[in-house]
Every structure is written in C-alpha cells, then in structure tokens.
Amino acid sequence: MKLHEYQAKELLKRYGLPVPEGRVAFSLQEALQAAEELGEFPLVVKAQVHCGGRGKAGGVKLVKSMEELQQAVEGMLGKVLKTFQCPEGKPVSRVWIEKATNIQKEYYLSITLDRAVSKPVLMASAEGGMEIEEVAKEKPEAIHMLHIDPALGLMPSQARKIAFQLGLPVNDFVKIALGLYRAYIELDASLVEVNPLVLTKENTLVLLDAKVDIDDNALLRHKDLEELEDLTQLDPLEVEAKKYSLNYIKLDGNIGCMVNGAGLAMTTMDIIKLAGGEPANFLDVGGGAKVEQIANAFRILMADFNVKAVFINIFGGILRCDRLAKGLIEAAKMVEIKVPVVVRMEGTNVEEGRKILAESGLNFINAVDMWDGAQKAVALASKGG
Amino acid sequence: MAILVDKNTKLVVQGITGKEGSFHATQCKAYGTQVVAGVTPGKAGQKVEGIPVFNTVEDAVKETGANCSLIFVPPAFAADAIVEALDAGIEVIVCITEGIPVRDMMMVKDYMKKNYPNAKLIGPNCPGVITPGEAKVGIMPGHIFKKGNIGIVSRSGTLTYEASYQLTQYGLGQSTAVGIGGDPVHGLSHKDVIALFNQDPETEAILMIGEIGGTAEEEAAEFIKEHVKKPVFAYIAGITAPPGRRMGHAGAIISGGKGTAQAKMQALREAGATVIENPAFIGKTIAEALGKV
C-alpha cells in the first residue's frame, strides 16, 4: 500500500526524524489557514499524488505570498497531475504546505528488502534528488549499501561509517538512519525512502521528501495505517475488484482475461500478446473462488469499455470447473454480455463444467487449449473493434 | 528416490482442525501420503478423518515419527508455526499459507539459516510438493500428475498444473513437482530445487517455470551453467507485465528495470537451457527435444 508524502512525513516524525514543519490542506480555505499557522513565507506547496516526478510536472511550487499560495493551490487541487512516471495522471485531492528549506546539498537514503539475501538493505548516496535507479546504472560506486542483520537491527557503528563516507554530520545522520530503520520495521514497510535528504545551509539534516510503502500482508496488524489509503489514487475498477478479494490490474488492451492463479494469469496475458492481441487486464480470481466472486469478476471485466472480447482461462485445482461454470451463469444474469467470450477449462471436474456451460444456452466459445483460446479471442476482438 | 517427499514421508499437518487443513489433510491421505499426525494447540486427543491431533509439533514427532510438516495456519500465526516445526526437528516444511507479513518471513528465514541450516522450507504461498504415485504434500489436484522423470520447479500453482498436464498429454511424467511460492521471502529457491534435481537419479530433465521480479531465475541460470548436465527447459511468465505493477504474487514486480522476463530468458539461454516462449507448447517442446514424439 502506498502512502502520500504528507502521511509518510507525519509517520516518520513520530520516529524522531526531522521533517519540515507543514500542514495538509484539502481545500483552498484550509490551505490559507495552514499558511497562517505556519506564519512565514516562503512556503512550498506540494501536490499529493502517488506518483514520482512531481517537480518537473508543476506539482511542487515555492510561494512567497498569500497571492502566490492561492494561485499555486488553485492550480493543483481538483486537477489531474500528469508526470513522466504516470502519463495517465493522478487526481490531486490534497496539497501539503511546508516551510521552505535552505538547501546546501541533496543526498539519498532508503531502506528496503534485498530479496536476494532476504535481509533489509540500507542505501545511501550523495547523488540525491536523482532517481536511484539512474544512479545505480550510471554511477553504481556512488551508492553505499549496507545489509542489516534482521535479528540485530541497524547498529550505530554501521550507520556512522556511512556518515563518514558521505561527509555528513555524524550524530544527526546516525539518529536519522536508526530512526528510519525502526520505522521500516515497526510500520512493516516494504520501502522507506528519503529523496532528497537535505543538508541545509545551517548544516542540519532534513527529510525534504519521504516515501513509505506498507507491506499489504502486514495490514492485518496495522488497522490504523489501512485507513490512510487514498482510493482516489487507484483505478476505480481496481478498487471495486479489491472489495471481492479479486486481484485485478487494468491495462490498455481490448481482450479481457479471467484466470485462476497469478502465474497463469500473467501467462494468459503473454499468450494473448503472442497471438497478436493486447490484454485489457490482469485478473486472478484466486485458488478458491466462490460463485459470487466469479460473477463479480466477470461484471468488472465487462465494465471496461475497451474490452472487445473475453478470454477465460481456468485450470481447475481447488477452483473446480463446475463451480466456475455456475459462476459464469450467475454472471450472465447480472450483466449483459455484449462481447464474445472464449472459455478454456481444464482440470478438476472439467467434464461437469463443460456440460453445465453447454446446457446453459449461453453463447460461449469453447477452446481446446490455451493457444486455441488466445487465437480465437484475438480474432474476435479485432472483428469487434 | 525423487526429491523432498516420497513414500517414506511421514506427514504432520499444522492447523489440521481448520477448514483448509482438514480438507487437504484428507486429500493428501487419499492420494496415498502417510499423514501420521495433525497439530492444533489445545485440541490434542481429537481425530480428523482418523488422523490423531496433538498440541505441539514436538509431541507429534515423538509419538508418530513425523518427518515432514504441511502448514495451513492463518497468516498472522504462520511464521510461528514454521519456527515450531523447525524447533521440533522437522527438516522438510511446506507452508501453504498466503499473506504472511514479509517481516515475519524475514525473521524466520534468518533464524532458520542460523540455527537449522539443513532444514528445507518450501513456500509460503505455494501449492506444495508432489512426487507422483508416492506422496502429495500440498493442495494440487493429484490426478493431473503422472509418475515419470521430469523434475518441475515453479513459483506458481496453476501454471505448474498447466505444465504438468501438458507433459502428461505427451506421456511424460514427473519425478517431483515443487511449487516454491510467489512471496518475496521464501524458503527453497529455483536454484536450490534445481540442485536437488541435479543429484536425483530419477530426474532426467528439469523444467523451471519462473516469472518476472527478483533475480532468482538469473541465479538459477548461473548454477545451471556451472553444474547441470541434464537438459533444462525454462518458461518465464510476465513478458507483457508493465513495470511497477505487482502481478498478483508479492514477488512479481519489475522495479527499476530489474526482473524483466527478457533478462531472465537471456540469462537462461546463455546457461544452455531451452527457453520456451509459447506457454501452450511446454509439453510439445520438451517431448520433441527428448525424442518422445
């Protein structure tokens, strides 16, 4: 789960990390009030969206007066911010207003899981402000990497070494690194990133930007964090799918896919592409999908206007083919099926499933295997489009 | 022979009195697996389909000689269940549970590496392990598998079923099929399982099914290049997956240009593996290459 910058900063502040003083505002009135409370200009107005590259896209503005503040806020709130990272854009429903920082130099600091060794890794670099991926590609030697022992945690001596290497105020940096690690662990974060970490002209360290992603699996013990999720940053169909525990990701193509299992769902997208088509989505209905879930999955697929054909690819394991067939019949009662539907079923109770569909009177097209199904769906979609 | 589980496997099912646990314990037993015990704290003395239930894994091991565990405990308690199995001396642990917090798995894996370096964890968030005709320790439908000589390792459940089904269509059975799971921190890796297949006299060829995200497939490719003489076939799912979007499995994400299907396929080709591009032709490609058609 992604959090907004302001939420990340408010959380990290609780761990003793130095963040610029600021306020969140959902309306112009709240923004003016916030400026009043902060008491002095210049201030920085930052659009809150789940997307990087805001600065270049006009989502971050330095303002020196109430007039400029008003202009900046009006230019952001209620608008869609498009950045190079999200060309489709994200709606701005709130802005963060903070006191401006006197920047001397920018650094990079993050903690995430290194999957290769199953340990957290702290990364720090003097090339702040840049995308860390860029730095990794062009100047890998500029990134200091430190693997952290999960049982021991991050030790001051380890953080100190990095502070000396980067030439940063040692005590301040150690406090920040240790606090950041504590936040990473206690919040069950999958990523905590400070980019940039700023050395101010006053020789102090400040978290100018902050990013915290939470491990979705850990939300079961962080009900308070779960409430922070901003659903406006997600695709509405994805939000709808989440309600029924369906794993749905909208894509740009015109062939809707419904599959059980994440691996097979990706494979189905791939085979559509191999057959010359473009998948409209990733949809994993899960191993133990119930009739109701299948019906809702189908409804969500149909709600995507780009879909010109549907390819259902199910390998029955726990999800039995007869249950799938019943779900499809239920779905057909709920939504009007306006596009051709190709069904490929195999596995547990497949004969029963095929029989149920054949006797249902629904005009589904049978496929003998994945390749046949993909080719049929692609041919039908191009005819319909 | 085969790997990890066989007819000598004595299985204890942790979380046996739950809905999933009791259903699959029964299914495993019906397949022919020796399911000797179940564990649910506080429910010792009960029976599930004739399988005795114990309070602790340690008791189950003492009373029944269980040497393999299958875990269905809910996500909040699953890491603890793995530790309990380790502490009881179980060396093959299969964890089916989906949704375990990453931090929990990170701690457990660290504990395991330091204290039980010989234990083998499969999963979590996986379909389990099957040695056709001998033992099923997992949730896969047994009937689509067939005894034979192809070793399969995969992150994904249904994709494993698909591949096994295709192989079976061509008369090619499986020595053992291992689903290692889709979580970012898990037990055995592709490389680890390939190393086991490499040593197994019953395995003549290896099918590795990978997917986008991480570097496990690249590490497996390194190992194959250095050590494996048996024919290796590989399929990588997710060639169309957009960067930055998590494709169902917590591990399946292309981030920072790393973990793409193309890079993985390239590494495997360089290691001498046959990379299968069309997933509908996994069975056909292997059958042709092995001269079985």
pLDDT in tens, A10-41: 999 999 999 999 999 999 999 999 999 999 99
Cα angle: A69, vertex A73, A76; to 5 degrees: 145
Reduced to 3 states, what is the DSSP secondary structure of residue A75?
Answer: helix
Give the global pTM.
0.93
- Whole-Å CA distances, B128 to B155, B158, B195: 10, 12, 18
- Using an 8 Å Cβ cutoff, are A170 and B293 in contact? no
Q: Assess whether B249 carries a catalytic annotation.
A: yes
Beta strands in chain A (DSSP E): 22-25, 43-47, 60-63, 80-81, 90-91, 95-99, 103-114, 119-125, 143-147, 189-200, 205-207, 211-214, 247-250, 255-259, 281-284, 309-316, 341-347, 365-366
**Through-space distance between the first and last CA atoms of chain A, rounded to whole angstroms:** 35
ipTM given for this complex:
0.90
* Subunit contact A150:B257, Cβ cutoff 8 A: no
A52-61, A136-145, A335-344, B9-18: the lowest-pLDDT one: A136-145
> Is pLDDT of A229 > 90?
yes
* Subunit contact B242:A271, Cβ cutoff 8 A: no
The Cα–Cα gap between A319 and A157 comes to: 53
| Amino acid, single-letter form, for residue A99 | K
* Subunit contact B154:A116, Cβ cutoff 8 A: no
* Subunit contact A247:B110, Cβ cutoff 8 A: no
The Cα–Cα gap between B279 and B293 comes to: 18
The DSSP secondary structure of B201-242, one letter per residue, reads TT--EEEEEEESSSSHHHHHHHHHHHH--S-EEEEEE-TTPP
Residues near A136 by beta carbon (within 8 Å), at least 6 away in sequence: A143, B256
* Span A260-274, average pLDDT: 94
The Cα–Cα gap between B49 and B22 comes to: 8
The Cα–Cα gap between A89 and B51 comes to: 57
* Span A334-357, average pLDDT: 90
* Chain A neighbors of B76, CB-CB under 8 A: 220-221
* Chain A neighbors of B160, CB-CB under 8 A: 263
Identify the helix (H) or strand (E) that includes residue A265: helix A262-274
> Is pLDDT of B76 > 70?
yes
Whether B111 contacts chain A with CB within 8 A: yes
Whether B106 contacts chain A with CB within 8 A: yes
* Chain B neighbors of A316, CB-CB under 8 A: 141
Reduced to 3 states, what is the DSSP secondary structure of residue B271?
Answer: coil
* Chain B neighbors of A265, CB-CB under 8 A: 247-248
* Chain A neighbors of B154, CB-CB under 8 A: 263
* Subunit contact B214:A270, Cβ cutoff 8 A: no
Beta partners for residue A230, in sequence order: none
* Subunit contact B156:A188, Cβ cutoff 8 A: no
Beta partners for residue B232, in sequence order: B206
Reduced to 3 states, what is the DSSP secondary structure of residue A350?
Answer: helix
- Closest chain B CA to residue A370: B280
Encode pLDDT of A269-299 as tens digits: 999 999 999 999 999 988 667 778 888 998 8
Percent of chain B with pLDDT strictly greater than 70: 97
Residues near B234 by beta carbon (within 8 Å), at least 6 away in sequence: B207, B208, B209, B210, B217, B265, B268, B273, B274, B275, B276
* Subunit contact A267:B241, Cβ cutoff 8 A: no
Which residue of B77, B100, B158 to mutate against A (max A Cβ within 10 Å)?
B158
- Of A193, A229, A244, A248, the active-site residue reads A193
- Closest chain A CA to residue B213: A115
The Cα–Cα gap between B261 and B239 comes to: 5
Reduced to 3 states, what is the DSSP secondary structure of residue A65?
Answer: coil
> Is pLDDT of B258 > 90?
no
Q: Give which of A373, B73, A48, A1 is closest to B82, Cα–Cα.
A: B73
Q: Which of residues 292-321 of A touch B (CB under 8 A)?
A: 315-318
Residues near A309 by beta carbon (within 8 Å), at least 6 away in sequence: A254, A255, A256, A339, A340, A341, A342, A377, A378, A380, A381, A384
Whether B245 contacts chain A with CB within 8 A: yes
Look up residue A360 and give its DSSP letter.
T
Q: Where are the alpha helices (DSSP H) in chain B?
A: 19-31, 57-64, 75-87, 102-115, 157-169, 190-199, 216-227, 261-270, 282-289
| Kind of pairing between the strands at A309-316 and A341-347 | parallel
Encode pLDDT of A59-89 as tens digits: 999 999 999 999 999 999 999 999 888 888 9
* Span A141-147, average pLDDT: 91
Reduced to 3 states, what is the DSSP secondary structure of residue A126?
Answer: coil
